[in-house]
Amino acid sequence: MSIKPAAAHPPEVACQFAADMKAYHDDIRRDGIAVGTRHMLLEHMPAGQSFG
């Protein structure tokens, strides 16, 4: 499995991640953050690979 180094991600991704972590204590926003993070991870995974 190939994982992109942190430097390969655009600064917007890091800023959004930081904002999401600050908002994570809110139960409603937590679900949205989890879904968004899953989609972001899927974009960077090799084709045919799954989480589990």
Structure confidence by residue, pLDDT tens digits, 1-52: 455 555 566 778 778 877 877 777 777 777 887 888 888 888 877 888 777 6
SS3 at position 47: coil
**pLDDT value, residue 7:** 56
The whole model's pTM is what?
A: 0.47
Q: Kindly report the number of other CB atoms within 10 A of residue 9's CB atom.
A: 13
**pLDDT value, residue 19:** 80
**pLDDT value, residue 1:** 47
37 neighbors 20 (Cβ within 8 angstroms)? yes
Residues 6+ apart with CB under 8 A from 4: 44
